[in-house]
Amino acid sequence: MGTTQTNCPREIADNCLTCTLRRDGFFCGFSQKALQALAVNSYTSIYPEGSVLFVEGQSPRGVYVLCRGRVKLSMVSSEGRTLILRVAEAGEVLGLSSCTLNKPYMVTAETLSSSQVDFMKRDDFVRFVRENAEVAFRVAEWLSKEY
């Protein structure tokens, strides 16, 4: 089966080790060892279009890896207007800076299409980064791209 993106994913990967959707992204390029640790600590879910993953100002619960789909990242301006900052694509990690710094999410993340997302709780993520030098390097690299 192809890996074309549709509104309703037909193929669901239970974890990164068995995923056929892998592309150049945050978790996709990790070594087998790091992917095994990731599989133990993350949860895969399918979200319908219009689902809110997290809200600006909310305490960080964890990081979200977008495996399939698209997510709108927005924030509210000082005038009370909603500003769309960008659209995240498959392979991106969402909420990384907030979880790393233990600061509230800076944006709201809402799915624009049916999306497959891997979620890792903040405590598990922090431990995952501390125990894997490869992951720590990738986090630093991803944060530098974000800013």
CA 73/CA 98 separation, integer angstroms: 14
In DSSP terms, 54 is beta-bridged to 109
Q: Provide the whole-model pTM.
A: 0.78
| % of residues, the chain, pLDDT over 90 | 51
Q: Residues 5-31: what's their mean pLDDT? A: 53
Given pLDDT bands bounded at 50, 70 and 90, which one contains residue 7? very low
Given pLDDT bands bounded at 50, 70 and 90, which one contains residue 23? low
Q: What is the pLDDT of residues 77-109, one digit of tens each?
A: 999 999 999 999 988 889 999 999 999 999 999
CA 52/CA 84 separation, integer angstroms: 14
Strands (E) located in 18-133: 42-47, 52-54, 62-68, 70-76, 82-89, 93-94, 108-111, 115-121
Query: Which structural domains are found in the chain, ordered by start?
Result: 32-146 (2.60.120.10)
The whole-number pLDDT of residue 3 equals 40
Q: Over the chain, what is the mean pLDDT?
A: 82
Q: What is the pLDDT of residues 120-130, one digit of tens each?
A: 999 999 998 89
